[in-house]
Structures are given as C-alpha cells and as structure tokens.
Structure 1
Amino acid sequence: MPALTSASLCCTLFSICFLFISADQKNIKAVPGQTVTLPCQAPKHRHIIVVEWSRRDLDTEYVLLYRDEQFDPENQHPSFKNRVDLQDRQMKDGDVSLILKDVMTADTGTYECRVFQTETNNGRRVYLKTGPIIINLSVVLPDQKVVNITAESGQNVILPCRAPNTLLIPAVEWSRRDLETQSVLLYWEKGIVTYFQHPSFMNRVDLQDRQMKDGDVSLILKDVTINDTGTYQCRIFMNEKHPWKSIISIIDLSVVSPGQTGGHTEDGGKEDGLTQGHYGLAAILIFCILLGVLIFLMCKQPKDQSKQN
C-alpha cells in the first residue's frame, strides 16, 4: 500500500504517469528493391503525440520522427529521406507501422519503435509510452544473376547498373575483383576521384549519365583490351555521412580479338584462322602426300636398276 500511495502522489504532483509496454522482437527478411512494412502497434483510443522510429547504429538521427502533429525531417537520417512513411498517417487504432521503400543491404539492422501518447484520467493528463518494439530487418542478396558481356578489342562497352530511382546517390563505385583496393571508377561529389583509380582505367571510363537520372549508374569503358577481361561490381553509397555501400550489379566482361572463333588460347583469347579440326585434316593430307612420294621413289628405284643391267 505505501508504494501505491507514493505512485498516486507522484501522478498528482506532476500530472504525469508513464506506462512502459514492451514487445517481443520480430525478424523480417527482404531482398534489395522490395518495399517492407515494419509493424508497430500502440494502445488504441489514445492521442498520439510522438512516434519515433530509430535504428541502433544511427546515433541520434531517426529513421522517422513524428511530433507536433507533423513529420520532422531535420532530425532524420539522410539515407531514409523520401523512402519512409507511416502505413497509416491517421494512425487509426494506434497503427504506427513503418513503410520502408526500395530496401538495400545497407538497411539491415535493428529498428526500434517508440510511441508517446496521452489520455485523461480523473481530470489529469497522463502520458504513456509504448516501446521499444524491436524489429530485426535483414536485407540479403538473392542468388544474384551475373550479367555476361562479350566485346571485341577496341570497342567501347557499357556495363549496365541501375539503382532505385527514389534514392539520392552521392557516390558510385565500380570495381573489379582482382584489383584489390584500387577502383575502376569512383564518382564522388559530381566528379571522378582518380586517387584510388587503377592506372589502366585512367581517362577510359565514365558514367553513362553523370546526372544519374532514374538511378542509371552504368559504366562506359572505352577502347577495351583483353586485359579488361574480369568480373566487375557496381556499388552505390547510400549517403555522404555514413559511407555504406550496396552491391547492385555484377558483370562478367570477356574481351576477345576481332573475328575470333573456336576455343580459348592459353592467353585467354580465341584462336584465329584454322580450327583444331582443320589442323587435323591438314596433318593427314601432308602425311598422305609424303607417303605417296615415298612409295613412288621406292617403286622407281628397281626399274632404274633393271635398265642399267
């Protein structure tokens, strides 16, 4: 009883009483490009004054913040701008579920939902808090398809890559798996960064559209050579403050000499001219000719000796 009396006295003095409601963690899986809903339900029939959606690794910035009867974009993390919304902006029946559009691998993380509400109890305004409701979101690549492209030496080729067009893309990185830390192209702050670029790609690469309209971040590779053969990866940076990257395209490029046919040579190109079958026929023909000459000489020698006798 003394504890109840103290609690009642506290509510009387401050007209505030917090009720904490927790929920079990939920696990959600998605693949890049999907739109997902992170569920969060507050008690019904209470006035909602604040909704906080956060992610544990984002420090003080929010995934989504609703307060003073409007959304607060100033405290929102840049990577979620124009990508999140409440499932029901009217928040009927306490539904404050979050819609996250065009998810990427960088969206993987632990999300928390908190709701602050008020209700009147015996003439006093009571503040109640729900949460945190915890959602573990995992965005994983499916069995990603590799695009195969074959080009002839000297050609200009385009390696396709497209990001969700709802994103503002501050940077793009094209790499090749065998180049380790050096890049094929790094496009940052509306320009190509050459400091980390592999020397063989200097002045030979560019984005197909530097404006990146509709998310087009395809690469132009000029005057290709056999040495350009390899597996290329396209990544985009989600935002400037936190340089998260997400692989969105993998390209296998094969560069061959013009007019090549047949099998691969030891240097990775293809054989010109005669195929292996042609070489076999030529060898048989040469053998037959030599055999015929040898038989002719052997038959001619006895006749010449008989004439001498």
Structure 2
Amino acid sequence: LLIYSCILFFLFGYLFFCITSVVGPSSHIVVMVGEDVVLPCSLDPAVDAVPLIVEWGRLDLSPRFVHVWHEGQDLLTNQNPSYRGRTSLSTDRLKHGDASLSLSKVTLSDNGTYRCLFPKRKLVSTVQLVVGESGVSIEAGGSVVLECECSGWYPEPEVSWMDSEGHLVSAGPPETVRGPDDLYTVSSRVTVDKRHGSTVTCRVHQDRTNQTREAHIHISEVQVYVGKFKENTSL
C-alpha cells in the first residue's frame, strides 16, 4: 500500500516505515548579528525523530559538529567550541519529525552552509545562513555634503534620506559593492542646507527581511575639516 510516497509494511504485528526525504529551506536564511535564528529541517512524512540520530554540522569547520542528537538526548562531546551553549533541538518538535536547530546570539563567524544529517538513513538537507552587520554610519564631508554607508546586508537594501519633517530629500544614485561573502555595502551622498531643518535622517530598509536601520545627524553639529584645522559650522 503506497501512502504519501512511504511504503508501510506490517510484519508480525510491527510497523516498519521508510522515510523518503528530509525537508529544509528553499533559499538563504538572513539574520543580523546578535539575533536568534532557527535553521529548518524536518522529515517527510513526519515521524517521531526522538529515537533517531540527527547531526547538524558545517563541513568547513573542525570539528564539524554544531549539534548532535543521539537517540533521545544531546551528544555534545565533539561540538565545535564556537557553538557551545548556543544550540538546541526541541524534544516536542522532534516527536513530530521536526529537527530544526535553534541558534542564539548569532555572530559573523556563524555565516556558512549547515548540514542536517540523519546518518543511519542517509538523509540530508542543507541551509545557508547569511549573517549581516546592520550598521549604519554617517559622515560629514565638507559643509553640506553628508555620506551614509551601510554594510553587511543581504539582500541589497534601499537607502533614503529624510528631513526633519519626514519628507524625502533628493540624493544621487547610491554606490553598491557586493563582497565575496555575498553581503552588500551601500553608500549614499546627499547635499543639505537650512531648508531641510535641524536634523537629517539616513534610512536603510530591506523589504524581504523587513529590516530597517536609521542614523540621524544634526545639521548644526556638522563639522568642516580644512587641513589640520577643525571648526564648527552651523548650516
């Protein structure tokens, strides 16, 4: 009898099952430094995974083990030290075939490809975790030109400028650089004067991840640098 692509055999009163696949995400998972994240991995069809062995790892690390579940309990003897105290699997979710890994306080070094492996059944899925720094910095270049730079974003964010009343300030096209880690650095410049009010805001937003960061600068505090001299200039 074929049900949901899983062949069921009844033999001497025992039920044997064949797990056909392990399901993971279809794309990148994006998280910012310091946040918590869950890396998806589940059996299809859903069966009790508590008595099974589940190995989460990264093949680029030594030791490669991020978290190991061994037949009903955590087995963290060979866990990579950088993940110590930051990983967990839920027993309640495992009962329903969900072996997703919870990872807390994400750091830049967590960026990479993770493997969810059921070794006895040779079932595997992978998930790529993209970790970004959501920093925004503003610099004053001259008396009226402001530059806003945001780094460590994925996917590419949008940068906009606003005056004190929340109205958009026209700026030139941003400069975008994509690094070898696939993270974006975007910089934008704008020229301001008194009509923009006392404060100008740089807003960085990414629709797909619903991430927004803002940085503010008070125009009266903009400083002009001429050679070795520095003087305060009120716009």
TM-score (norm 1): 0.40
Task: Mark the CA change 1:82 to 1:186 in structure 2 (over 3 Å): closer, same or farther.
Answer: same
Please say if 1:205 is aligned against 2:57.
no
Give 5+ residue unaligned stretches, structure 1.
1-32, 38-62, 66-70, 74-80, 84-100, 106-140, 238-242, 280-309
Distance apart, 1:166 and its partner CA: 2.7
Tell me how many residue pairs correspond in the alignment.
147
Separation (CA, whole Å) in 2 of partners of 1:267 and 1:149: 14
Distance apart, 1:162 and its partner CA: 1.0
Among candidates 246, 250, 272, match of residue 126 of structure 2: 250
Distance apart, 1:103 and its partner CA: 2.7
Q: For the Cα contact (< 8 Å) 1:155–1:223, is it kept in 2?
A: yes
Q: For the Cα contact (< 8 Å) 1:257–1:269, is it kept in 2?
A: no
Q: For the Cα contact (< 8 Å) 1:146–1:252, is it kept in 2?
A: no
RMSD in angstroms over aligned alpha carbons?
3.3
Give 5+ residue unaligned stretches, structure 2.
136-150, 152-156, 158-175, 191-235
Separation (CA, whole Å) in 2 of partners of 1:200 and 1:227: 9
Separation (CA, whole Å) in 1 of partners of 2:50 and 2:117: 11
Letter in 2 for 1:173: E
Hey, what does 1:263 align to over in structure 2?
177
Q: For the Cα contact (< 8 Å) 1:149–1:252, is it kept in 2?
A: yes
Letter in 2 for 1:220: S
SS at match of 1:233: strand
Separation (CA, whole Å) in 2 of partners of 1:246 and 1:180: 22
CA offsets per residue over residues 64-87 of structure 1, 9 Å max, x none?
64xxxxx254xxxxxxx442xxxx
Letter in 2 for 1:216: D
Letter in 2 for 1:190: G
User: Equivalent residues in 2 for 1:7-22 (5 A)?
Assistant: none
Task: Mark the CA change 1:202 to 1:35 in structure 2 (over 3 Å): closer, same or farther.
Answer: same
Please say if 1:35 is aligned against 2:3.
no
SS at match of 2:82: helix
Task: Please list every run of at least 4 consecutive aligned residues from structure 1 whose deviation after the TM superposition is greater than 4 angstroms.
Answer: 265-269
Larger radius of gyration: 1
Q: For the Cα contact (< 8 Å) 1:257–1:270, is it kept in 2?
A: no
Letter in 1 for 2:185: E
Distance apart, 1:228 and its partner CA: 0.8
User: Equivalent residues in 2 for 1:146-295 (5 A)?
Assistant: 146-163=26-43, 164-170=45-51, 171-179=53-61, 181-207=63-89, 209-211=90-92, 212-237=94-119, 243-247=120-124, 249-259=125-135, 260=151, 261=157, 262-265=176-179, 269-271=183-185, 274-275=187-188, 278=189
Task: Mark the CA change 1:145 to 1:257 in structure 2 (over 3 Å): closer, same or farther.
Answer: closer
Higher strand fraction: Structure 1 or Structure 2?
A: 2
Task: Mark the CA change 1:145 to 1:155 in structure 2 (over 3 Å): closer, same or farther.
Answer: closer
Higher helix fraction: Structure 1 or Structure 2?
A: 1
Separation (CA, whole Å) in 1 of partners of 2:121 and 2:7: 20
SS at match of 1:177: coil
TM-score (norm 2): 0.52
Distance apart, 1:201 and its partner CA: 0.6
SS at match of 2:114: strand
Hey, what does 1:294 align to over in structure 2?
none
Separation (CA, whole Å) in 1 of partners of 2:98 and 2:25: 18
Distance apart, 1:210 and its partner CA: 1.9
